[in-house]
Amino acid sequence: MVRIGFLKLGNIATSPMVELLLDERAEREDMEVRVVSSGANMGPEQSEKVAKDLITLKPDIAFVTSPNASTKGPTVARETLTKAGVPTVVISDGPKKLLEELKERGMGGIIVEADSMIGARREFLDPIEMAVFNADTIKVLSVTGVYNVVYEAIDSLIDQLKAGKKPELPLMDVTRSMAIEASGLSNPYAKAKAAAAYEMSKRVANLTAEACFKEKEWEVYTALCAAAHELMRSAAVLVDEAREIEKYGDSVLRKPHHRDGAVLRKRKLIEKPK
Amino acid sequence: MVRIGFLKLGNIATSPMVELLLDERAEREDMEVRVVSSGANMGPEQSEKVAKDLITLKPDIAFVTSPNASTKGPTVARETLTKAGVPTVVISDGPKKLLEELKERGMGGIIVEADSMIGARREFLDPIEMAVFNADTIKVLSVTGVYNVVYEAIDSLIDQLKAGKKPELPLMDVTRSMAIEASGLSNPYAKAKAAAAYEMSKRVANLTAEACFKEKEWEVYTALCAAAHELMRSAAVLVDEAREIEKYGDSVLRKPHHRDGAVLRKRKLIEKPK
Amino acid sequence: MVRIGFLKLGNIATSPMVELLLDERAEREDMEVRVVSSGANMGPEQSEKVAKDLITLKPDIAFVTSPNASTKGPTVARETLTKAGVPTVVISDGPKKLLEELKERGMGGIIVEADSMIGARREFLDPIEMAVFNADTIKVLSVTGVYNVVYEAIDSLIDQLKAGKKPELPLMDVTRSMAIEASGLSNPYAKAKAAAAYEMSKRVANLTAEACFKEKEWEVYTALCAAAHELMRSAAVLVDEAREIEKYGDSVLRKPHHRDGAVLRKRKLIEKPK
Amino acid sequence: MVRIGFLKLGNIATSPMVELLLDERAEREDMEVRVVSSGANMGPEQSEKVAKDLITLKPDIAFVTSPNASTKGPTVARETLTKAGVPTVVISDGPKKLLEELKERGMGGIIVEADSMIGARREFLDPIEMAVFNADTIKVLSVTGVYNVVYEAIDSLIDQLKAGKKPELPLMDVTRSMAIEASGLSNPYAKAKAAAAYEMSKRVANLTAEACFKEKEWEVYTALCAAAHELMRSAAVLVDEAREIEKYGDSVLRKPHHRDGAVLRKRKLIEKPK
Amino acid sequence: MVRIGFLKLGNIATSPMVELLLDERAEREDMEVRVVSSGANMGPEQSEKVAKDLITLKPDIAFVTSPNASTKGPTVARETLTKAGVPTVVISDGPKKLLEELKERGMGGIIVEADSMIGARREFLDPIEMAVFNADTIKVLSVTGVYNVVYEAIDSLIDQLKAGKKPELPLMDVTRSMAIEASGLSNPYAKAKAAAAYEMSKRVANLTAEACFKEKEWEVYTALCAAAHELMRSAAVLVDEAREIEKYGDSVLRKPHHRDGAVLRKRKLIEKPK
Amino acid sequence: MVRIGFLKLGNIATSPMVELLLDERAEREDMEVRVVSSGANMGPEQSEKVAKDLITLKPDIAFVTSPNASTKGPTVARETLTKAGVPTVVISDGPKKLLEELKERGMGGIIVEADSMIGARREFLDPIEMAVFNADTIKVLSVTGVYNVVYEAIDSLIDQLKAGKKPELPLMDVTRSMAIEASGLSNPYAKAKAAAAYEMSKRVANLTAEACFKEKEWEVYTALCAAAHELMRSAAVLVDEAREIEKYGDSVLRKPHHRDGAVLRKRKLIEKPK
């Protein structure tokens, strides 16, 4: 039995779903999961503490999810885990260039560029707006194939650990073409819509970064936050269209996990997965 | 500084967002959060283990989120926490009647009936379908006011703890009328749409329960799972309409948390929260 | 030539279409129809009168359509018809348990549970809202297959009468699975959407019953009526989606009646029915 | 107590709703309704028979609803009623020029030009397509104000009869501007959308007339029928938009009938009608 | 190298796209284009001037696009061109009867009846409303096949000129059935939707003609203009649906021009045109 | 009377509407327009020829519209015009840096960054796809305010010329914030949606540039072209939503040109412009 640890610092939309993607019906018998999180807070002290907490749970491998992995909190956390001998993989929305540094330090990294930053301004973001944005982003990351790339990378590590191998930690920047290929969409216009939605989702970060870090006038940054969330909402509408196309053709790809961790496949709704 | 613990066993759609709802922009200085989870798995052994893990993190209060809180895992977990002297509140999709038992044992409980069970059959549910369903449900729970009821109950407990009081643990069944009132929707047709979506969301469980627990023929239960998820998708479309109505009238209620935990309010997009 | 009588007391959404479903292009030469109705009113006196009026028209069989067939008006009407020797079948939204009683008394019954009650409160329902609700419900009952079940049952009775047999009066509770199967939808997601819409349509009655019979505060019951009608509107949107799926695949099932009452079949739009 | 008779020959979309529009909650105590119909069939013999049947029910006034009122069946029916001394008003989709003849003969007439003919070809029209078309048309006639014009004309006749007057039978061609004004829509774009939908609905007849009476090639007329029904579906979508606009502004006009037949008014959802 | 001249007087929605339809990727080497226009103005003097300007550019054939080709400006323009020996083809929204006159005078004519007049009233039409209407109309003319008919007629003339023949000038009234056939839509419901949209687009002119030429009251004609543009917007929505159907079936017909002017064909998105 | 010349080389979506935006109802008496174009072709020789043709028409000022104004054709054209003493303003989608060069050479420039390049690959783009893309882009540029910025800049030049002044040629890069402000949208969420659509429209160029200039594999660039056009279609859907919001609030800004070139204003549909 492999034990997978997740350290969640702050939030990106990959984070709330990531461990669930590995065992969507809670049936797997080949691995178990431990998650430790400090909630929205990702300060360095808290991050270090929860990293140590995770170490006490003795994971065979650890994934540190956070926004901007170059900030102090996530940095301290992954170093703490690595020092303790836990193979560690960063999952973050950026920055891409971090991948080199991670490589040098023997860590892994999965950069999910389409998992754009939220519009985190007090004049705009309240709990409900936050949850709505996460819902939209989760839908986008699901249908565009981003989640497929992420969980298949983790599944591959689990397989290596189950085989008693030292895992080869991935160093990947999840791009549009990787995601769309992994999405399993079969209709070419469904793919085109998903690709367009991917671009939209990725572009959200340009607006939120401007709103949160550059713009000083509150009327302007509030409007920018709203524009960014509208962009993500449109992306969610578009991926919904893409998935509907697959339903219309009865060709939705489904890849359920088997009890033993194997991945099955099916396309027609009324057929058995194989 | 109050420390709030979340023990997450298995998944309901309230679970991935719950701690984020308390501190949507990661600015609060009056409390901190610890989350421990065993992922999708909610077996009794694992549940007990993670409950003990959470105890070591010394939370002032603990929330145990899980589907069906009357099953063994969640039961063991909350008893473990209570025995250790941690005030404990159950957050679950049911059963309602558990509230009495919780009351007797000095625990709290928040039953979120609209947070319906997923269509957890191998012929239907794969990681992507799981995430899409969660995205839809998160949107429904957000806009219908369910999340408002939940986080406001937790905020109230935090306030009591901050004031040095022994917290009065809530025993609540979140109903449609409670939720819609908490939603802050101002247009009466937006409320009507949200109320209709609430009914739809709640009704999903009838279909998934039939699909997962009663129906034996795989062609039938697969079709039932699909119907259930279409129902949730329609509910998500409808709450989106409800929120759009508020946008069209520039009357979206926003209640951001202040740094000190206070809750501000605003309606017009371009106005300062107060 | 068989003569079919319809006695319409009050309104359910099956009622305005029921005789038209038997002869959609007014071409049948094997039967004729007589409808007598007292409009919206279904009081016992009026119901008895119109029942007697129908008897004078000498129908070979009579169908009594009404809401809640256990109320006095419909009860008197069917007993009057039965006493006069007219084989009588009740068509109503409920109650289901009436079927036993009908059986005992040698009558037939078709309970259409998805044909939910309207939000009949003066603060809410005016002529236009009434018509809009009926339009939505008619669409839902059409596409989900409910109407198919109903008219096929009547067609079967006509066939028996044409063959000179004593008709075997049906005793049926039209359920979701019966309806969806009768709908002839071919795409499994179209079926799933129709099934979800069926649930929504059926659920409307919970809200309208609460609004019309339980709730006393007018602000509350008005809002409940509005929620109920939004739920039916969403169901109508969803069945429209389901039918569009069939159009997209050029697989809409069409079963036109032939002049002689036979039922033909076709799927492709540009093909002859057989 | 005034008794209103409806003789329904064949079907137009005004027909299934017309008596219900007068007493939408079945509460009126100032009038009663009798409907007699021969179903879809509107042959001269059947029409005469049911006219005589209606006469035996002693209506104070009779309304004869049918498609194309210049055909034999409806003509015989209204003459039969008139001969029997029953004040008679034709309600039909045309022809307009009939109004003059009706005037000469002392009858009334309401021509509902937007209530377009269905695509009645065996290769296209089956019971479900028929019902779906009626649902769409009912929605269009409801929201565009056509139904308002019709039922207000009938209500006016009832008032005259209640006052013991000889009713002044209306001779009206329901036009777009009459309808839109009667609709009570308040937003000017809602009116514009309703007006556009009215044009679409009216235009349907051009396509169905071509399909049913002129075109001989079955592939062509089948396609024309489909185009006509798509046109009506689009009109229904558009009036739905128009009504939603009023919901968004909380200004839906509601004019419920009082128990005594008076017409009340309200605009805000949560307000009492006056 | 053939030189094609376009004289654009005033605007119809065929006009802004017409020369681009011949060489959509700017690759053709077998012909060149000259356009001269006087903008929105189509007065007789200006029209004559620009006609002379076009003559100096020595086109092998000239197309005069304008609304209402029977007015003075377009008439003078085409006569000027014809006198100068330039084969001339009128492209206009009407009137149809002009075709006979054109035939007598040795000119060609393409009447595009679905290219309806805009709502040109100062209380309604501003630059943005004008552009939005054109966008909707361009989409309608594209998908319904109208543009196909037009550019294929021109391509045929180019082929004749390239072959050194005296071109046979077309005299065509572009009808619904010609357009839908040329559209290349393959799904029969896509065709039905396109046909319905065609009718809507054509009907716009009835409303705008009434608004611009008959109605004197400004409140009334402003509302009529708005209704007309809503009608075109609905038509655009409907053709979008039609094209989506083709995308869902991966059967969008594409007929790109080859460098040498030949027209290639393809249906699947990922296949080479032939 | 001022004479405005437009030289159109190749196509961007600003080009087909630009002169019409100045005189949307063809009523202006203070200026006249001359357009000369070489159609889709923008080669250097053709561009020079048509520039000379425009010079012979003696415009008081000339606007050269084209994609990528740094290519040879547009460059030769504007230099030819400038040498002939015609004040010349470039209107193009880029590059921005050209503005400096234009300034040095005494020319004006309006860079419309949101007017993104089309997916000009033979495997994808045929005449209909081209026209559909233009329709979508025209709608986006209309509602986001881009067209407002452009035509107001030209109107200002006309005013200067009418006043006998030497016109101050504009050097402007039309940005999102300029456009949204010029759009006159009043609801803040309408603005947010328009801003999001602007970003989407601008982003299209990233995909089409990759598809047309970088990518060599035809399967890949064809898919990229399709994604780009889906992105523009989504932007068009979103601006349509934005405009609908204004309709719902009866606050669409309309700024019709008066006969004398003055710009009037109104918001309510049924009110006179001032």
- Per the CB < 8 A criterion, the answer to whether D7 and D51 are in contact is yes
Is the Cβ pair A248, C192 closer than 8 Å?
no
Model pLDDT, residue F1? 87
Cα separation, D243 vs D241, in Å, equals 5
Structure tokens belonging to residue D105: 């003969």
Sequence-separated contacts (24+) of D92-95 with Cβ below 8 Å: D92/D12, D92/D64, D92/D65, D92/D66, D92/D67, D92/D68, D93/D12, D93/D67, D93/D68, D93/D117, D93/D205, D94/D68, D94/D69, D94/D70, D95/D68, D95/D69, D95/D70
DSSP string of B176-224? HHHHHHHH---SHHHHHHHHHHHHHHHHHHHHHHIIIII---HHHHHHH
CA C13 to chain E, closest CA, distance in angstroms equals 28
Q: Which residues of D touch C254 (CB under 8 A)?
A: 124-126, 128-129
Q: Distance from D111 to chain E by nearest Cα, in Å?
A: 21
Looking at residue A211, its pLDDT comes to 98
Q: How far apart are the first and last CA of chain E?
A: 24
Q: How remote is the C-alpha of C192 from its chain's centroid? A: 22
∠ CA E211-E134-E201, rounded to 5°: 60
pLDDT in tens, A162-198: 999 999 999 999 999 999 999 999 999 999 999 999 9
Asked if the bond preceding C95 is cis, omega within 30° of 0, the reply is yes
Q: Please tell me which of the candidates E206, E220, E234 has its beta carbon nearest to residue D238.
A: E234
pLDDT band at E249 (very low <50, low <70, confident <90, very high): very high
A225, closest residue in chain F (CA to CA): F192
Measure the CA–CA gap between C57 and C73, rounded to whole angstroms: 20
Distance from CA of E104 to the nearest CA of D (A): 32
Whether pLDDT at B150 is above 90: yes
CB C269 to CB E188 under 8 A?
Answer: yes
**Residues E155 and E218: beta-carbon distance below 8 Å:** no
Measured in angstroms, the CA of D223 and the nearest CA of chain E are apart by 6
Q: Which helix (H) or strand (E) holds F155?
A: helix F146-162
Nearest to D255 among C126, C131, C148 (CB): C126
Distance CA B225, CA B204 (A): 9
- Give residue-wise pLDDT tens across range E61-90: 999 999 999 999 999 999 999 999 999 999
- The per-residue pLDDT for A89 is 98
Do D192 and E238 count as a contact with CB atoms less than 8 A apart? no
Query: Are 3 or more Cβ–Cβ pairs between E and B shorter than 8 Å?
Result: no
Quick check: F130 and E24 CB within 8 A? yes
Q: What whole-number distance in Å separates Cα of residue E56 and Cα of residue E76?
A: 17
Report CB contact under 8 Å: F193, A230.
yes
Contacts of D among chains (3+ CB pairs under 8 A): B, C, E, F
| CB spacing of D188 vs F248 below 8 angstroms | no
Question: Which residues of chain C make contact with E243, given a CB cutoff of 8 A?
Answer: none
Give the helix/strand (H/E) hosting F203.
helix F188-209
Nearest beta carbon to residue D245 from set F248, F269, F270: F248
> How many Å lie between the alpha carbon of A189 and the closest alpha carbon of chain C?
15
CB contact under 8 A, E189 and C270: no
Instruction: Name chain A contacts of B34, Cβ cutoff 8 Å.
Output: 36-39, 50, 53
- Please enumerate in sequence order all residues whose Cβ is within 8 A of that of E220, keeping only pairs 6 or more positions apart, or say none: D177
F-chain CB neighbours of A228 within 8 Å are 196
User: Are the Cβ atoms of E247 and A248 closer than 8 angstroms?
Assistant: no
Cα–Cα nearest to D4, from E189, C41, C142, E25:
C41
Task: Give pLDDT tens digits for E218-240.
Answer: 999 999 999 999 999 999 999 99
Contacts of F188 in chain B (CB under 8 A): 250, 268-270
pLDDT by position in tens, chain C (length 274): 899 999 999 999 999 999 999 999 999 999 999 999 999 999 999 999 999 999 999 999 999 999 999 999 999 999 999 999 999 999 999 999 999 999 999 999 999 999 999 999 999 999 999 999 999 999 999 999 999 999 999 999 999 999 999 999 999 999 999 999 999 999 999 999 999 999 999 999 999 999 999 999 999 999 999 999 999 999 999 999 999 999 999 999 999 999 999 999 999 999 999 9
Mutation target among A207, A208, A210, A234 for the F interface, most CBs of F within 10 A? A234
Task: Name the residue of chain D whose CA is nearest to C183's CA.
Answer: D128
Are chains A and D in touch, 3+ Cβ pairs below 8 Å?
no
Average pLDDT over chain E, rounded to whole? 97
Contacts of A218 in chain F (CB under 8 A): none
Residue F244 distance to chain B (closest CA, Å): 9
Residue E14 binned pLDDT confidence (cut-offs 50, 70, 90): very high
- By C-alpha distance, which of B61, A157, B125, A21 is closest to A35? A21
Residue listed under structure tokens 């552009």: E131
CB of A40 within 8 A of CB of B25? Answer: yes
Q: What is d(CA F182, CA F146) in angstroms, rounded to the nearest whole number? A: 7
Banded model confidence at residue A1, pLDDT cuts 50, 70, 90? confident
Residue B107 has pLDDT above 90, yes or no: yes
Min Cα–Cα distance to chain C from E246, Å = 8
Mean pLDDT over E19-40 rounds to 96
Q: Which residue from E minimizes the CA distance to A247? A: E248
The list of chain F residues with pLDDT below 50 reads none
Q: What is the pLDDT of residue C1?
A: 87
C266 to chain E: which residues are within 8 Å by CB?
none
State how far the Cα of C168 lies from the Cα of C158, in Å rounded to an integer.
11
- Chain F closest CA to A29's CA: distance in Å? 40
What local confidence, expressed as pLDDT, does residue B253 receive? 98
Collect all residues of chain A within an 8 Å Cβ-Cβ radius of residue C189: 247-248, 250, 269
Which of A129, A78, A128 lies closest to A108 in space, CA to CA? A78
Residue pLDDT, tens place only, E172-214: 999 999 999 999 999 999 999 999 999 999 999 999 999 999 9
Number of residues in chain A: 274
Mutate to test the interface with B, among A4, A24, A66 (most CBs of B within 10 A): A24
Query: Residues near E179 by Cβ (< 8 Å), separated by ≥ 6?
Result: E114, E144, E145, E146, E148, E149, E194, E198
Q: Which positions in chain C touch B143 (Cβ < 8 Å)?
A: none
Find, in chain A, the residue whose alpha carbon is nearest to that of B252: A129
Give the 3-state DSSP-derived string for D77-102, with helices as H, strands as E and coil as C.
HHHHHHHCCCCEEEEECCCCCHHHHH
Read off the pTM.
0.98
Q: How many other CB atoms are there within 10 angstroms of residue B177's CB atom?
A: 14
Q: What value does the mean pLDDT of chain D take? A: 97
Q: What is the pLDDT of residue B187?
A: 98
Distance from CA of A34 to the nearest CA of B (A): 5
Token pair recorded at residue B63: 């929330």
Strand, coil or helix: what is D176? helix
Q: Are A234 and F200 an interchain contact pair (Cβ–Cβ within 8 Å)?
A: yes
Of A248, A268, A270, the CB nearest to C249: A248
Task: Tell me which residue has tokens 């504009």.
Answer: F170
Residue from the list D177, D192, D203 with its beta carbon closest to the beta carbon of E199:
D203
**pLDDT category of residue D234 using cuts at 50, 70 and 90:** very high
Confidence at residue E260, expressed as pLDDT on a 0 to 100 scale: 96
* Cis-peptide into E95, omega within 30 deg: yes
The answer to whether residue A237 scores a pLDDT higher than 90 is yes
Residue numbers in C near B207 (CB within 8 A): 199
Residues of chain A contacting C248 with CB distance shorter than 8 Å: 248
- Tell me if C247 and E248 make a contact (CB, 8 A cut-off): no
Residues E107-150 have pLDDT tens digits of: 999 999 999 999 999 999 999 999 999 999 999 999 999 999 99
The answer on pLDDT for A233 being more than 90 is yes
Residue from A5, A207, A14, A30 nearest A110 by CA: A14
* Contact residues on chain F for B250, CB-CB shorter than 8 A: 187-189
Q: Is F68 helix (H, G, I), strand (E, B) or coil?
A: coil
pLDDT at C41 (0 to 100): 92
Question: What pLDDT, on a 0 to 100 scale, did the predictor assign at position E50?
Answer: 97
- Phi, psi (5° rounding) for residue B27? -115, -10
How much of chain B, in percent, has pLDDT values that exceed 90? 100
Contacts of B229 in chain C (CB under 8 A): 192
* Chains touching C, CB cut-off 8 Å, 3+ pairs: A, B, D, E
Spatial CA neighbour of B24 closest among B36, B13, B33: B33
